[in-house]
A and B are shown apart, each in its own frame.
Chain A
Amino acid sequence: METTKTTEAVEKNTILIADDAEINREMIKFIFDEQYNIIEAEDGEQAISIIMEYSDKLCLLFLDLLMPKKSGLDVLSFMNEEDYINYIPVIMITGEATDETDEKAYELGASDIIYKPFAPNVVMRRAKNIMELFEHRIYVERKLEKRTRQLRESREKLEKSNEFLVNALSSVVEFRSLESGEHIQRVKYFTKLFLKYIMKFYPKYDITKEKASLIVNASALHDIGKIAIPDSILLKPGKLTGEEFEEMKKHTIYGCELLEKFKQDENEFYHYCYDICRYHHERHDGKGYPDGLKGDEIPIWAQIVSVVDVYDALVSKRVYKDPFAVEEAARMIIEGECGVFSPEMIDCFGLAKQELFAVTEGEFSFADVMVK
């Protein structure tokens, strides 16, 4: 890091002096030409083209206010538009103080204004202070940028590891039930599609990109409680008896019991996981389980997982049933033959329908879909 700083200091050693009178340029030049490279510009246009060509090397710009073709203020405006103003300090040189132009120059980012006639040692001091300040600021900014980038990278890494672990955990249940191998991946993808429309058309839920990504991840765990359901029920090849079904329904409770052992009350993700595990079999009319919540008592994320879970179950083949055609499954959901969903969920289902069908009927592997 030290080496780059030194090279920078060596390379950035050129001062541009823009003034239409040779004498005025020389007056500044003789102060600096022992220690710095000097480039001169006779008017504003020249100054601009030199700035563009030598921006990497310029450590300071002395700028006359009144010049032919383009004025000093024009040059400053240009430097603002192209962001040079943040990397090259500018000292304005002017014959007289007029509050209006001084104000304007400072507004446009000039670091200092020096009035003619000026004492060389004072100009030197002020110039050096300003150059040091800029160099230091740029150095600190670069360092900060680097830190921010590192932080972002480690956060992304952490998110990836989290996703991996959540996927691994949720596939334990899938693995045991020997069916619907990609059900969880599809539920995640469908949840993501639904959230896209919720964000677009239902801003009242205040779903941000960050929240959406947590909810998608949490959706993977919706059936985690099935791990506590005995094989005789979970793997039963026929229809369940009433008693067996009552036990099966408890997977929503079991899932929450499991999560509660690692409760993180202040963690948003924990709450999404909990709500989705517990409420993804609730119904809009209050006739679902385990708590019989109704309407908007059911968190929106649980409502979403509920509808996409039902859709995927309908169009998948199970030991006890053949898959329904996508259009038929859609009709059953919309007409309330298979669960009762809120009008908003039905609306989102209509919006996402074609995308859901594409996945169900598609030949592609799920890995590809998730990447998109």
Chain B
Amino acid sequence: MTVQEFYEEVGGDYNEIMSRLRTEDRIRKFAGMFTRDESYKALVQCINDGNADDAFRAAHTMKGMCQNMAFTRLYKSSHEITEILRGKDLESAKQMLDVVTEDYNIVIAGIEKLLA
């Protein structure tokens, strides 16, 4: 799988990421780091624990990473959940979490194929 195909599959912006990171090797390296990051796990955990503050921070971190990686689709859903959590609305966050999870799983599955 090429990097371009990967970005198409996960709903990301290939041109944008290339303009910033310049080489596909570097993009692969960063993609590897993305799978190791624990913000998503923390987000799920904190929402289940009812800890809105830490959930907000985890969502915020995730959103920032998606911006940096140009994962546009996951960026949109993590941005939305960040704003919901900024308002400490845990009930709405739970519903939004399903969307985030779906987008996140697509990205992770894509990275696994990319790095296979």
Q: Is B33 an interface residue (CB 8 A)?
A: yes
B-side binding surface: helix, strand, loop or mixed?
helix
**Number of A-B pairs whose CB atoms are under 8 Å?**
50
Assembled-state Cα–Cα distance A88/B24 (Å): 34
User: Given known contacts A23-B69, A117-B20, A117-B70, is B26 in contact with A95 (CB within 8 Å)?
Assistant: no
Q: Which of A24-32, A251-259, A304-312 contacts B (4 or more CB under 8 A)?
A: A24-32
Residues of A contacting B16 with CB < 8 Å? 117
User: Do residues A20 and B67 form an inter-chain contact, with CB atoms below 8 A?
Assistant: no
Assembled-state Cα–Cα distance A120/B16 (Å): 12
Task: Return the chain B residue nearest A123 by Cβ.
Answer: B20
Number of chain A residues close to chain B: CB under 8 A: 17
User: Given known contacts A117-B70, A119-B19, A120-B20, is B64 in contact with A24 (CB within 8 Å)?
Assistant: yes
Return the contact of A95 from the options B22, B30, B37, B63 (Cβ within 8 A). Answer: B63
Q: Is B41 an interface residue (CB 8 A)?
A: no
Q: Is A22 an interface residue (CB 8 A)?
A: yes
Return the contact of B65 from the options A21, A30, A68, A119 (Cβ within 8 A). Answer: A21
Q: Which residues, 40 to 84 on A, are CB-close (under 8 Å) to B?
A: 64, 66, 68
User: Do residues B37 and A22 form an inter-chain contact, with CB atoms below 8 A?
Assistant: yes
Residues of B contacting A64 with CB < 8 Å? 64
Residues of A contacting B60 with CB < 8 Å? 66, 95
Q: Is B6 an interface residue (CB 8 A)?
A: no
User: Do residues A21 and B64 form an inter-chain contact, with CB atoms below 8 A?
Assistant: yes
Q: Is B34 an interface residue (CB 8 A)?
A: yes
Return the contact of B36 from the options A20, A22, A116, A118 (Cβ within 8 A). Answer: A22
Q: Is B101 an interface residue (CB 8 A)?
A: no
Residues of B contacting A20 with CB < 8 Å? 57, 61
Task: Return the chain A residue nearest B30 by Cβ.
Answer: A23
Residues of B contacting A118 with CB < 8 Å? 20
25 CB contacts below 8 A, A to B, read: A20-B61, A21-B37, A21-B61, A21-B64, A21-B65, A22-B36, A23-B30, A23-B65, A23-B68, A26-B29, A26-B30, A26-B33, A27-B68, A30-B26, A64-B64, A66-B57, A68-B57, A95-B63, A95-B64, A117-B20, A117-B68, A118-B20, A119-B19, A119-B20, A120-B22
**Chain A residues engaging chain B, CB cutoff 8 angstroms:** 20-24, 26-27, 30, 64, 66, 68, 95, 116-120
**Chain B residues engaging chain A, CB cutoff 8 angstroms:** 16, 19-22, 26, 29-30, 33-34, 36-37, 39, 57, 60-61, 63-65, 67-70
